A and B are shown apart, each in its own frame.
Chain A
Amino acid sequence: MTRNKSLVSAAIVSLAIGSTAAQADTLENVTKKGYVQCGVSTGLPGFSNPDEKGNWTGIDVDVCRGVAAAVLGDASKVKYIPLNAKERFTALQSGEIDLLSRNTTWTLSRDASLGMNFSGVTYYDGQGFLINKGLGVKSATELDGASICIQAGTTTELNVSDYFRLKGMKFEPIVFDTSDQTVKGFEAGRCDVLTSDQSQLYALRIKLAEPEKAMVLPEVISKEPLGPSVRQGDDKWFSIVKWTLFAMINAEELGVSSANVDKMKTSDNPSIKRLLGTEGGLGANLGVSDDWAYKIVKQVGNYGEVFDRNVGENSPLKISRGLNALWSDGGLMYAPPAR
């Protein structure tokens, strides 16, 4: 919280005395620094979570690593800046981070008034409710009068108000700054319900002392497309971040994975050749090397691998692909062609 204040004042100072000249070139900055500064959460299993040794893993973290692989040729050249929900936009605006990859919902007002651009969707989510099994509640429509723990500065805070207003129900919002505090409030019994994006509920549930006593209600009350974002006014950088994710999705669609990418380099399929940079020279115009996508897939993996490893079947969360399957498998993941 004091951190938030200092971030806000840093932003104000940088806006007040920063030069009004043209925007700094993020790509040039990153190349000069030798690492990408990436805003992530303070700890959310599956999305961005540090282990005991301070190594970050998660689907959002892999986006950061992908950008580093594309730009610097080394996925490990990332500096992670943990941010709670209230701090994240200020950190991006003030230039403390090069990109924000922290389970952040793409909304109109964020696009239009916060000076940021969302570069795609890494995870299609929706808001849900986590409750104590002991309450005997089976549906969100039975929650009239409940106390609800929420994290400040999220879309969650707004959606839950909308939902209860729509259903003509009342609730008591208990608003905390960090997800740790929110979970503690729920565990201590201060609230009956914890609400957040559904995927994050599964992630927070495994953080509880007794996960088996809590359950996620079936209702999904909102659309939460989560994706990375960058500052407005630097289109080159915007494109790089956008195409990093597209490269991962295209790789999955083309059957290119970290295991077979070396073999695939010699594939006859022109789409694969163009993606991996053995043909077409598409990287140069983007401002990166021609084999940028090769490096992403080799070092980080394709979208399917990233999903399975962090939130899917190979992870403790075991979330099914659902909406996040490729379009060709009935999901929403669709990337423009690399040509």
Chain B
Amino acid sequence: MQKDSNENPELKKTNLWNDANFRAMLFQVVAILAVFGFIGYIVNNALTNMEQRGIVTGFGFLTDQAGFGIVQTLIEYTETDSYGRTFIVGLLNTVLVSFLGIILATLLGFLIGVGRLSSNWLISKLSSLYIEIFRNIPLLLQIFFWYFAVLRALPPPKQSFDLGAGAFLNIRGFFLPKPIFEDGFSWVIGAIILAIAAVIYLVKSNKRRQLDTGIYKPVLLPSLAILFIIPALVFFVVGQPLSWDYPALRGFNFQGGLSIIPELMALLVALTIYTAAFIAEVVRSGIEAVSDGQSEAADALGLSNGQRLRLIVIPQALRVIIPPLTNQYLNLTKNSSLATAIGYPDLVSVFSGTTLNQTGQAIEIIFMTMGVYLTLSLLTSSLMNWYNRRVALVER
């Protein structure tokens, strides 16, 4: 470099400076160095400070024994497991409530959004009322409301509601018989997969025939029949490899079976109802964004009401709906951290709550927790982006 520029120093220098690309590059490098330098300084400073104050640092705690119990665990967990495992337990509980919440809020939100556009005065007014009420009450209040409403409405274990078929409902939760899969159940699973593949084939070939010949045959009934009959046949042939573990009242409460704790119910109800109000607005605006001309054209082509919605309106509305819908999904996931207010053992309650407190390692734990929410958000949005690209207008 030095030698090169020696040949014609003046010229080279001015040239380089005047090169916009070079300047841009240089600024970026400087900016990146500054950012990393700053982060490095902060990290180093924090470590020194903590060491001076006698606060333990590092991730070694993740393998230490946790020693506390957790009420709902999707994976095997006991007090003797590690703090690292409490992270997984909390994470899965967060994913569970977010996933269920997203599904339920989407269903309810679409219903209400469509309801708001209904020509039926009562339905449309009730939908508006729903949206205005639940969008405007702080979520935390709604969570408390549902939690204590749920608790107040349910009887103690000894007077449980018997819902039949081995299901019970009381203040400790919702108790269901738990399926126990025995040897040979994999055959049934195989049969289900086969049936699904068959249905996909049926639908596809039907569509092709329709495109080729214009003849449309209903596929709903045959599909349902395939989905049901094939697995059922296999199930009986391999000797019914399924039994049930029924919950039974023993001592303080029901033991065995599957149980859904009231904290999960309350949180799920609150998140669903709150987010559905926002999703309804998203859906309404999406549908309204499709111009009337499209519907009129569909009518002119002689499409039925259902066909018009399914083939013309919804595909176009989805393009408008997906991006803000993604936003609502992200909100729901983040809002699920309010769980700690009612004792639902999500990531924030278990890991950045109890684990943080027992170990005192705030910085490590907060960073791990932030990392989780960031990852969940990025995953959700990339999934939705992928879907968005699929439904986006294909330009020909």
Chain A residues with a Cβ under 8 A of chain B: 1, 8-9, 11-12, 15-18, 20, 23, 85-86, 89-90, 93, 109-110, 112-116, 135, 143-147, 152-153, 157-158, 160-162, 164-165, 171-177, 181, 184-185, 188-190, 192, 231-233
Contact = CB atoms under 8 A, between A and B. Distances in A.
Interface string B48-68: 111011111000000000011
26 contacts: A1-B338, A1-B341, A8-B352, A8-B366, A12-B366, A15-B363, A86-B357, A93-B53, A93-B360, A109-B360, A113-B360, A115-B53, A116-B54, A144-B252, A145-B251, A147-B172, A152-B353, A153-B353, A153-B356, A158-B358, A161-B68, A165-B79, A174-B343, A177-B341, A181-B341, A181-B342
A177 B45 contact: no
A234 to B, nearest CB: 10
B241 interface: no
B9 interface: no
B351 to A, nearest CB: 12
B13 interface: no
A177 B345 CA distance: 12
A146 B338 CA distance: 26
A152 B55 contact: no
A112 B45 CA distance: 21
B252 A12 contact: no
B359 A113 contact: yes
B226 interface: no
A115 B46 CA distance: 14
Contacts of B48: 20
A171 B78 CA distance: 11
A161 B359 contact: no
A18 B353 CA distance: 25
SS class, residues of chain A in contact with chain B: mixed
Contacts of A17: 42, 45
A164 B79 CA distance: 10
A147 B341 contact: no
Interface in B202-221: none
B343 A172 contact: no
Nearest to A169: B251
A89 B357 CA distance: 8
Contacts of B356: 8, 86, 153
Contacts of B42: 16-17
Contacts of B99: none
Contacts of A9: 366
B49 A20 contact: yes
B53 A152 contact: no
Interface of B: 42-43, 45-46, 48-50, 52-56, 67-71, 79-80, 148, 151-152, 156, 171-172, 250-253, 255, 262-263, 338, 340-343, 345, 349, 352-354, 356-360, 362-363, 366
Given A86-B353, A152-B353, A18 B252 contact: no
A54 B366 CA distance: 33
Contact of A11 (B52, B56, B253, B362): B362
Contact of A190 (B79, B262, B349, B358): B262
B54 A233 contact: yes
Given A93-B362, A115-B55, A158-B67, 13 more contacts: A1-B340, A8-B352, A15-B46, A20-B48, A109-B358, A114-B54, A145-B253, A152-B340, A153-B354, A158-B358, A185-B343, A233-B53, A233-B54
Contacts of A189: 151, 156, 171
Given A90-B362, A152-B349, A172-B172, A16 B46 contact: yes
Contacts of A185: 151, 343
B358 A181 contact: no
Nearest to B69: A173
Most buried by A among B46, B69, B359: B69
B252 A231 contact: no
A55 B218 CA distance: 76
Nearest to B43: A16
A34 to B, nearest CB: 25
Nearest to A116: B54
B24 to A, nearest CB: 31
A146 B252 contact: yes
B268 to A, nearest CB: 17
A190 B261 CA distance: 10
Contacts of A18: 45, 49
A15 B49 contact: yes
Given A12-B46, A85-B357, A175-B349, A190 B171 contact: yes
A147 B157 CA distance: 11
A297 B50 CA distance: 37
B52 A233 contact: yes
A147 B262 contact: no
A99 to B, nearest CB: 15
Nearest to B352: A8
B343 A114 contact: no
Contacts of A177: 340-341, 353
A8 B351 CA distance: 14
A191 to B, nearest CB: 9
A15 B50 contact: yes
A147 B252 contact: yes
A70 B298 CA distance: 87
